[in-house]
A and B are shown apart, each in its own frame.
Chain A
Amino acid sequence: MGMTHLEFLYGTRIFGCKTCNAHFSTTEDMMSRAFNGQYGRAYLFAKVVNVRQGEPNDRPMTTGLHTVRDIFCIKCNTQVGWKYDKAYDEAQKYKEGKFILEREMIKTVD
């Protein structure tokens, strides 16, 4: 496959991996701050880069059953959140294809 560069983003504020500074997303792509993750507060993003997706599995969440995949930083391999593949509740459909990043796993990066 060869060497690839990590993706770097344009944005007013860039969120990246707390461990290795890899860019994940920007304030422009942030949809909501009102989520909770494994480690507390989490954010919903429309788009996230530099992550590897795990296998899909069904998880019961506070808002109902979802099919989700864990996402990992492609540089340091830390698990940083998850991606919604499918929401079974009609009201939750807006989350499909979107990403959760746990606030505890990210920081503002340059």
Chain B
Amino acid sequence: MTTQIFPELAESARPAIRRRRALSVTSTYPSADKPVKRRRIDTSNHPNLEASSLHSNQHPLSGIADAAEAMRLTQAGEASEPQGTQSSSSSDVGNGAAAGATTGTYTSPSAFIASMDDPLVNVKNGHVKALSNGSTNGSLTNGSLSPRIETLAEPYARHAKAVARVFPPGTTLYPDSMTDREEFVRLLLQTLKDVGYLETANVLEQESGYSYETAHVAAFRNAVMNGKWDLVENGLVVLGVRDDDSLRAARFMISQQKYLEYLEANKRAEALLTLRQEIAPLDIEQGRLHNLSRQVTSSLVLGLCSSAPSLIMASGPEELRRQAHWDGSNGSSRQRLLSHLQQLVPSSAMVPSRRLDTLLQQAREHQIQMCNYHIGSQTHSLYHDHSCSRKQFPSMNTHILEGHRDEVWQLQWSHRGDKLASSSKDSTVIIWKIARIEATRELDCTLQHVLRDHSFHINAISWSPDDSYLLSSAEHEIKLWHAETGACLKTINQQHSQTVNGLCWLADSSGFVTGGMDRRIIQWDIKGNFVLQWPQLDIRILELAITPNGRRLVAIGQLAQPISISNEHTPSAHSLATTLQASAGVHAPTVSGNENRTSVDIERRIVVYDLETRQEIWWQSVWGELQSVKISEDSRFALINHQQGDVALWDLVEERLIQRYVGRPRGMCVVRSCFGGIDGGLILSGSEDGHVYVWNRRTGTLFEMLSGHEPGGVNSVDWCPGESALFASCGDDGTIRLWGPEPELTADSNMVEQPGPIVHDASERETQNGKQLVGGLRTNDGYLLGASPSRMKEASTR
């Protein structure tokens, strides 16, 4: 990109201007009146630049701008270079390329000329030589973005002239760079062509000497896009596809397309012939095809096979397209075929579509994964690495909800995020209403109901998927509540003989599942009627979770009886378990006699069941107490708290440990964790040291330890669904705390009283305010409602 290209100026070129202007309207993005910024090379500063060769490329007539502008451009010893590519033959133009055009877009006669990228780099490193290779390929790439560009008139195309080829040293972009220059330039070419900067692409091809792709590729592409099936297979061979399996797969895909197109065109005889002679023989080898490549033989491609014969009965093209899930020869089907076939071709011969953009997207995703405070709403720029500010992270305690009379053990947001249920050692469950004030987007928290019919402290709570109902369990007793009225709809206290720690709803809201320390899993209908009981398990259930897709039930539990070695059902699974435990930092206890077993020695397990068949799919043995389990939104991962302090992320599909989140101290009690952030990229956990721990899910980096609940532990945390910066925590201090970003400081914020309590003195302030406000703020239940003082409201209790 060294040779700077400027227009040659000539009055006679005027007619071309109009053509150019027409072109700019239909093609590129710059608006008609927006001058494009230009760059120049001052050859005097760059001795390496062979000015003579530049000038030798001068072109008599291709200039466009008016004379005055020309003077400006050519003054000061600049290389006055003919803009535009060398006339890269009008056959290229036939592909839709505006070959032989000037660089950039002429938007008005006096406009500046768009120019190439930073010349300094190349000039510094390289030599400029006269262009020797004029072969370019102006074919459009895979991108569907490419605007249609009218063919330039012949005379104009001929005016274009060769651009000097540049030979930078080495093969990489920079001496110390890892990026191969040819690869980079070819990706750039692809992108430029996709976007419609065809002339620039042509110039780049000449200047670099690299072509985006060979004529063979273009021929192959054209064959597919124009339905010249006979040429397609041969085209693949030419492009380097040689092995039998690949060719068989290709033939299969081509034949299917062919078959469907015949049917679409109502050429039944030809279709039938294709089916019998081409598809049917291949069909026999389907098993083999399937093994070849899952990517290539996509489910669509194979799925069609079995239904292919029946398609011949389709009453018309519409019906055919619907039945075959195929959008016709004029739709995207050929493009899709092309991209399937392309996967067989070496990527160096045929660059995968949108490759540069794909790479940039990967960079973006990587940056997001590395961004600890990611809240998802930022725009991304290529100019700098993405990074969210801590200012938008919910690191500040904004609201304190007081209503429980003892330690708060668990809390859970409703799925809509407008309610919060909390459960306590005081044997009550409280439903809080968390409304949003439209104008200010602030939260308005009110105590809605105190559910007080349990006679033991509460072990678990669970919102129904539609937020209509709430389940709670206290020891062996389960209650079903109507969330809006707070009425108890059902009490279940006969079927479980021990503590019920697992409560979860079926994904379709048709009922729920309970699991207890009595090794029973029982299914209930929506009204709390008994449906069925699973065969008694090996484990006492510490918690249950159902994947959001409704397919699997994940249980954590402790083995009811030790399993003797001879009884071990899968020795391989056990050895795997041992390996993983070591990596999970969960150590097996030293082997001791049978005497004096304590709960510490008891084996714990993570067990995954198929919810429909109730069969065990997989289990994993771990040592040391397990505390809680949460499932990721995509149903794939389970987040499990270990009493040793670790939080572990397990992949339920690959059946392995993915990440450990460490730093939390070892504890004695049940402490729960959750996924957080707008895309689940954070891991949060309570801790007995009174802090809320926050890790980057991908990297495992512990980056926040939020304080507020001390003294005493934080028992549970839950991120508000749909919110980028809101979560709740609860603790031994009897409070529930909401966390949000620090308020933005406005110009006069120092003058105005802050709306919410400040994190460090929140506790004290709340207590003081609470005392002052006791008279006015007692609810009918006699519970003191604590919320941010400025937003306290009379609670509606019934």
Contact = CB atoms under 8 A, between A and B. Distances in A.
Interface of A: 1-10, 20-21, 28, 47, 75, 109-110
Contact of B715 (A3, A5, A21, A47): A3
A109 B596 CA distance: 19
B715 A4 contact: no
Question: Which of B476, B517, B519, B596 has the most CB atoms of chain A within a 10 A radius of its CB?
Answer: B517
Interface string B539-563: 0101000000000000000101110
A109 B476 CA distance: 14
B497 A2 contact: no
A2 B599 contact: no
A103 B596 CA distance: 22
B562 A2 contact: no
A7 to B, nearest CB: 5
Given A10-B562, A20-B475, A2 B669 contact: yes
B409 interface: yes
A3 B596 contact: no
Nearest to B425: A3
A28 B598 CA distance: 13
A1 B732 contact: yes
Closest 9 CB pairs of A and B: A2-B669, A3-B670, A3-B409, A2-B715, A7-B599, A2-B713, A4-B669, A10-B597, A21-B497
Given A1-B407, A1-B669, A3-B459, A75 B475 contact: yes
21 contacts: A1-B407, A1-B669, A1-B713, A2-B409, A2-B669, A2-B671, A2-B713, A3-B425, A3-B669, A4-B669, A5-B499, A5-B517, A8-B560, A8-B599, A8-B602, A9-B599, A10-B560, A10-B602, A20-B475, A28-B595, A75-B456
Nearest to A8: B540
A1 B714 CA distance: 9
Given A1-B669, A2-B409, A110-B498, 15 more contacts: A2-B667, A2-B670, A2-B688, A2-B713, A3-B425, A5-B501, A5-B517, A8-B540, A9-B597, A9-B599, A10-B561, A10-B597, A20-B475, A20-B476, A110-B518
Contacts of A2: 407, 409, 667-671, 688, 713, 715, 732
Contacts of B14: none
Nearest to B601: A10
B594 interface: yes
Contacts of A4: 668-670
Nearest to B520: A110
Contacts of B497: 21, 109-110
Contacts of A75: 456, 475
Contacts of A28: 594-595
B542 A5 contact: yes
B615 to A, nearest CB: 23
Contacts of A6: 499, 517
A2 to B, nearest CB: 3
Interface in B670-696: 670-671, 688
Contacts of A1: 407, 668-669, 712-713, 732
A47 B596 CA distance: 9
